[in-house]
Structures are given as structure tokens and as C-alpha cells.
Amino acid sequence: MADNTGAHGQTGATTDASLENRAKSTKRNSRWWLWAIVAVIAVVAIIIGVNLAKPKSSTNPSVVGSGDNTADTVTIGLKLAPTNLDIRTTAGSALDQILIGNVYEGIVARDEHNQVVPAIAKSWDESKDGLTYTFHLNEHMTFSNGDALTAEDVSWSINQLIKNQYHDADSLSMVKSVTADDGANTVTITLATPNSNLLWTLTGRAGLVFDKDAKYDAKTEAIGSGPYTVAKFVVNDAITLKANPKYWGTHKAKTATVVVKYLADDNAAVNALKSGTVQVLAPITETLAAPFAKDAAHYTVKAGDDTDKYVLAFNSKGKNTADKRVRQAIRYAIDHEELIASRGGSDKALGGPIPSLDPGYEDLTGLYPHDEAKAKALMSEAGYSEAKPLTLTLTYANIYGTELGDQLRSQLAKIGIDLKVNVVEFSTWLQDVYTNKDYDLSLVDHNESHDFYQWADSTYYYNYDNTEVQRLYAQAIAATSDDSRDELLAKAAKLVSEDAPADWLFNYRVTTVWAKGVAGFPVNLNQTLLPLYDVTYAK
């Protein structure tokens, strides 16, 4: 099982879907909301003798935009390696990152702003009642093995996901039927109930299209319709992508070969960039990026937006944290600017449960500004002070290091909270906090987009139960217009933030560094969405 821990450098990260899957490995409990690479024989024609030290021009007819000084190969250093290539059954964002948009394509896709854009479907119509979506497909599409990509492949792929309960099948629980009309080149999805998240859901695994007639080992091979094929896969080491000579669309690969090296060790990754073994690193911590930022003549360092939310949860039914005054005091006591500065300054303050790239976002940082006096007054009302402190325990996984816990302990001591920091193995956190809900405070990076549902379910580990939030969220999901959905989500998010069931320490931003001459590498969302067709490297 793929795991997303450690995806963001020394502090680590984990998606909520991964949390669910990891929890299932120790306790079999399902939740309603949670939710392929033949050794390519049609390899692109590449000039013999290409190497990074002496880039040559590309003559591959499937590669566009190449010039005399453009290298045929770009090598990229990433951190989190997939354990296999079976994107239908294996959890973990590493597969989404490298395969979606590069090797496999969906009926629709996402852009760098997290918005839905055309892909295999060039357009779509939605009925007024929000129950019927008709997708109009592009013409003359093919898979990398030469098979035609038809409406039947699209409907078969989605129906197979639902039937076999592949990864993310839960996200299509509202789907009543998926039918194809090869004559009209359309696919129709009918819902039992409206769901305003459907299109966005289809940009991920739920909407991927596979060749229904192909035979291959999905764990080590892949047959997709994207601009790249997988030429070589070495577990925990590297994936080599080659431009797909049979690619049908507008996103033709600009570089013939992209090698992705997985570098789990930060120092090894930095050395690989310095030596020219790789031309790009994503992610890199702010501390390690500093020398590259100072060498602007040779490197570019840039932080991109993402949907990671470092959530400091307060057990809403805990013995000491059920008191709203205590929760509010903690929020006022936390100095977010200090936390962000200590991490290099790239992260953004986040005052509520919805990040800027998600629908319903509103800047809520003004609800609980840093105010020690207010925090002390609230603690006094609750019966505590520096002389008579309240003892609380913060439990979190060791993948996040110790610095955040130490900082929070220091900040909360000033208002009369004696914070005991309990750093544990991830498996222990899953059992005690996520599954058993036995905690005072907890810290985890929730990096999934569109995950507000967590706050609308009283059985989630937050133990947060607000019927008005649940009502607003249900209405938002049933909304038939984006504006209505966004307005309802914003209202619900503000209620959640006001209730203070958690503090959102910051919206983590991914820092990427690349060598001079690299262009087209995506910065936003690149830990889950990494289209590589525009990437080039010139010396």
C-alpha cells in the first residue's frame, strides 16, 4: 500500500484517504465518503548518444517545441515513490502525481488553479436538475498501444471502478448509471441525487479512462492515452517516461524522455541537484532551498499553492477541550506568523477549514488573531491561569518532527496551558487518535482537496457535531450552480472556524527548485498534480 507520509520533506504529510486506508489495515471499518504500462514497444525515435552533460536537439516527431539547444532528457527529483503502478487499487498520492495527466487521462482534468478543464471530453452539458451530465468526447483518440479510445472505453472504465470498488469508488456513490453512445461519441452519467463535486471528482482516479481490450500487468505496466508512456519502472528508485508517438491530443510532450528519480534523503536530493544529476527538485524545505535561492544565476526557487492544511484538532468531546472557551483561547494564543517564519516563510496563514484553491474559500484569519490578553481572559473564565495551568496532551506522528510541538508548548504556556507533547509512531496515532478518538489535541496535515466533508460528519475523529454545518454542507453538495455551492460552503466554513474545533496552523506551500534552462515545470499542486508535457531543459 502506498503511503503519503514524508511527501513534504522533513515535516512529512499524509492524505486523508491514506489515513483511512492505513486505519483499515488495523481495524476494518469503512466510511461512505471515502473513497497500468505495457513495456512500450512503440518507443519514440531519439538521437543516439543523448546525455545531460551535452544536450542535443530532439528529432522525435511526437515531441513539439524542440530546438537545437533543447535536451532530449530532463531528470526530476521527487520524494515519494509509488510501490507499484496499479492506480486502480493502490492508495497514495505518488501514483496520482506521476500517472494522471502524463500516462493516464480522465474524462475531465484539473488545471494549476484546481479548476475543472476538458480532457477526453471536449465539453459537457448538465441538466437543470443536476442529475444528468452528457460528455461530448474528442474525435480520433487512441491509447498508446494504438487501440482507438471510444465512448465505450470511457463508460466501461467508470462502471468497472464502481463495480469492483476500485480506489475512490466511494466518491461516485451517487451515480445511478454510466452509458456510452459511440455513434454520437458521448457518455452520459446519471445521478440518483445531485452532487456539485462530480466534475471535480472525475478529474482524479474516478474519471480515468482505460483500454477495455488491453491485457497487461497493471502493477508494472500501463496503457494510457496521455502524452507519455512508462518505458521503465524501478521500485523505490525511478520511472522513465517516453513521449507517446501515438498521442492524439494538444498536450504533446516537449521533451522526449523524462526521468523521475525518487530521492527520499534530503541531503542526497540536494547533492543530486548540485551535481546536475537532476535538474528539478520538488519538494525541498525552505532551509535547504536557501543556498539555491542565493544563486539566482544558476537556480530558480519558487513556492506554489497547494491544498495542504496543517490541522491542530481539539477533541470537541474531550474532557478538557469540550469547553469552547479553552478552544478559543488556544486559537488566540497561537502565533501563526512565528510558526510560518520558523519554517522559512513560504506557508500561508489559514483561518478556517477551506484552503484558497478550494470552492468556498474565504479569508477567515481575522476571526482569531494572535491576542494573548484575550486568550488569558478566556482561560481565566474557564478557571485556569499560569499559576493554575490546564494540562493538555498533544499527540501527533513522528513524521512531522518535534519543532512544531515545541513551539506550541511554548506559546500555550503563556496563557496557562501545560502542553505535554506526545510524538508517536504513525500506526499509534492511527489507532489512538484517528480510530479511537482518544486525545486532547492532535496535529496532522490534511492535504486532500475538497475535503470539507470531514467537518460535516460527527463520527469523524474531530468529534465535531454541528447540525447547521451539516445542513449547509448537504445543501452545497446538492447545489446545481457553482456560485450557490461556494456560498453555502463559505457559510459552513465560517461556522466551523467560529466554533474553534481546531486551529489551522497554516496552508502548506510546496517549494520547488530547478536549474537554469528548465522551463514549464508546474509549481502549484505539484505533489498531487504534475503534468510534464511542457517541461523542457536547455543549456
- The SS3 of residue 358 is coil
The three grid cell numbers given for residue 510, joined into one nine-digit string:
510546496
Instruction: Please state which of the ranges 10-24, 36-50, 139-153 shows the lowest mean pLDDT.
Output: 36-50
Residue 255 · residue 72 · CB < 8 Å: yes
What would the pLDDT profile of 174-195 be if each residue is shown by its tens digit?
999 999 999 999 999 999 999 9
Residue 223 · residue 216 · CB < 8 Å: yes
> What average pLDDT does the segment 198-203 reach?
97
Residue 211 · residue 149 · CB < 8 Å: yes
Q: How far apart are CA 250 and CA 237, in angstroms?
A: 30
197 pLDDT more than 60: yes
24 pLDDT more than 90: no
pLDDT at residue number 92: 86
67 pLDDT more than 60: no
Which residue, 112, 60, 67, 86, is CA-closest to 257? Answer: 60
Residue 424 · residue 400 · CB < 8 Å: no
308 pLDDT more than 60: yes
Instruction: Please state which of the ranges 9-23, 220-234, 453-467 shows the lowest mean pLDDT.
Output: 9-23
Q: Give kind and range of the element (H or E) at residue 303.
A: strand 299-304
Q: How far apart are CA 217 and CA 115, in angstroms?
A: 32
454 pLDDT more than 70: yes
Which residue, 221, 240, 232, 285, is CA-closest to 85? Answer: 221
498 pLDDT more than 70: yes
536 pLDDT more than 90: yes
Q: Are strands 238-243 and 228-234 parallel, antiparallel or unpaired?
A: antiparallel
> What average pLDDT does the segment 85-110 reach?
96
> What average pLDDT does the segment 351-368 reach?
97
Could you give the percent of the chain with pLDDT greater than 70? 87
The tally of CA atoms less than 13 A away on the side-chain side of residue 406 is 6
Which residue, 243, 220, 330, 223, is CA-closest to 45? Answer: 243
Could you give the percent of the chain with pLDDT greater than 90? 84
Q: How far apart are CA 199 and CA 207, in angstroms?
A: 9
What would the pLDDT profile of 225-248 be if each residue is shown by its tens digit?
999 999 999 999 999 999 999 999
| Sign for the pseudo-dihedral over CA of 464, 467, 469, 474 | positive
What would the pLDDT profile of 118-163 be if each residue is shown by its tens digit?
999 999 999 999 999 999 999 999 999 999 999 999 999 999 999 9
pLDDT at residue number 447: 87
Confidence of residue 37 (pLDDT cuts 50, 70, 90): very low
Residue 264 · residue 81 · CB < 8 Å: yes
Instruction: Give me the chain's average pLDDT, please.
Output: 90
Q: What is the DSSP letter of 464?
A: -
Provide the b/e sequence for 231-268 (b: ≥16 CB within 10 Å).
bebeeeebbbbbbbbbbbbebbbbbbbbbbbbbeebee
What would the pLDDT profile of 468-484 be if each residue is shown by its tens digit?
999 999 999 999 999 99
| Sign for the pseudo-dihedral over CA of 446, 451, 455, 461 | negative
Q: How far apart are CA 18 and CA 6, in angstroms?
A: 12
Which residue, 437, 493, 230, 157, is CA-closest to 317? Answer: 437
pLDDT at residue number 18: 53
Cα–Cα distances in angstroms (integers) from residue 252 to residues 100, 101, 529, in the given order:
15, 11, 17
Confidence of residue 539 (pLDDT cuts 50, 70, 90): confident
Max CA separation in the chain (angstroms):
78
Q: How far apart are CA 235 and CA 192, in angstroms?
A: 41
Q: Give kind and range of the element (H or E) at residue 126.
A: strand 121-126
Which residue, 194, 217, 206, 187, is CA-closest to 88? Answer: 206
pLDDT at residue number 29: 40
In 213-323, where does DSSP find H-type helix?
266-275, 286-294
> What average pLDDT does the segment 435-461 reach?
96
Q: How far apart are CA 179 and CA 452, in angstroms?
A: 30
